Amino acid sequence: MTNPTHPAPEKPAHPLVALLSRAGLDWFLLGLLGVVALAYFFPGVGSRASPVPWKVVTSGGVALIFFFYGLRLSAEKLTAGLRNWRLHTVVQLTTFVLFPLLALAARPFMTSEKGELLWQSLFFLCTLPSTVSTSVVMVGIAGGNLPAAIFNASISSLIGIVLTPLWCSFILHTGTGDGRLWSLALSLVWQVVLPVVAGVLLNRRFGHVAERHRQGLRVFDQLTILVIVFTSFCESFAEGVFRSYVLTDILALGAGMVALYLLIFGLIGGLSRLLHFSREDRIVALFCGSKKSLVHGSVLASLLFPGAALGALLLPLMLYHALQIIMASVMAQRMGRRVTD
């Protein structure tokens, strides 16, 4: 008979599961690799031509994620998160100043005609705002400061509508002006602001339910990320973005995007330690400050570079977008496990 004062030992994990865990692999990482392979072989399933309304699915999933995040936030926590001005300054300066300065520093090394075109694509990437949904989801998975993450990711999108065109106009001599910028702002309101507000308002009544099902909601976050990765790669493969490039070009550019992400990640980590950020705030700085938005990039590219070959222009962004999700997912998973272990 089991002694009630001593809980029964946990059932040991399956040997294969234990082996994968020791190797740093889990179902989510394997799922990421799986959806990329699936997108390669069946790009039509997740592209815009698919009969499945993926845009509705992903938009609804993102809105639900932010609603449940809001449900776990009290008004007091949200207010406290907004007051953390040092964290917000680091994230926004990284997004809109450090990234572009790194691109400018790389310009002398890309002087050929092909290199100049690639540098313009890289600079455009570096001026873009952070993502909203994936940044906040990663912070949630890693166990970071959710109120601060929601604020930083959301305000970054709004700032980017102004600063990205300004950077490009000043350095690349482009022009802008289109009503689609406002559609981005409205999308931000519908998918992020309103769900969070609704969740916060219901926190007193149903907040304990969201806390009780925290692990289940974490799995929902992860599944949503898998769908976003799948549809992103399907779109790239279906549009033949990679066809005009040889494999070595793609691999070299991909390696460059990985290096850029890891450099930014390392710089933010070092700065966060210098400023003595808490673990939760450091996670926000790392994941919100290192992302770039494909949604904003696609719309702004069509406005700032009319008549340009957008596939080639957006290739670095598409690679960075996909790789940032994969790398951030692995890092967030590991950070999250340290909290629960």
Per-residue pLDDT averaged across 88-111, rounded? 93
Residues found in the chain: 341
Percent share of the chain, pLDDT over 70:
81
CB 238 within 8 A of CB 43: yes
Q: State whether residue 74 is helix, strand or coil.
A: coil
Tens of pLDDT, residues 54-78 = 888 888 887 887 788 778 777 776 6
53-331 sits in which CATH class? mainly alpha
Tens of pLDDT, residues 180-192 = 556 666 766 787 7
Q: State whether residue 63 is helix, strand or coil.
A: helix
DSSP 189: I
Q: How confident is the model at residue 89 (pLDDT cuts 50, 70, 90)?
A: very high
Residue 291: the pLDDT is 92
Q: Which of 89-98, 164-173, 178-187 has the highest mean pLDDT?
A: 89-98
Of the candidate ranges 24-38, 222-236, 282-296, the one whose mean pLDDT is the lowest: 24-38
Alpha-carbon distance of 64 to 266, in angstroms, equals 32
> 35 versus 275: which is more confidently predicted?
275
Q: Is the pLDDT of residue 103 over 70?
A: yes
Per-residue pLDDT averaged across 25-39, rounded? 77
Between the CA of residue 287 and those of 95, 152, 298, 331, what are the distances in Å?
Answer: 11, 10, 21, 10
CA angle (108, 291, 264) in 5-degree steps = 50
Alpha-carbon distance of 128 to 293, in angstroms, equals 7
CA angle (183, 184, 190) in 5-degree steps = 85
Q: Is the pLDDT of residue 120 over 80?
A: yes
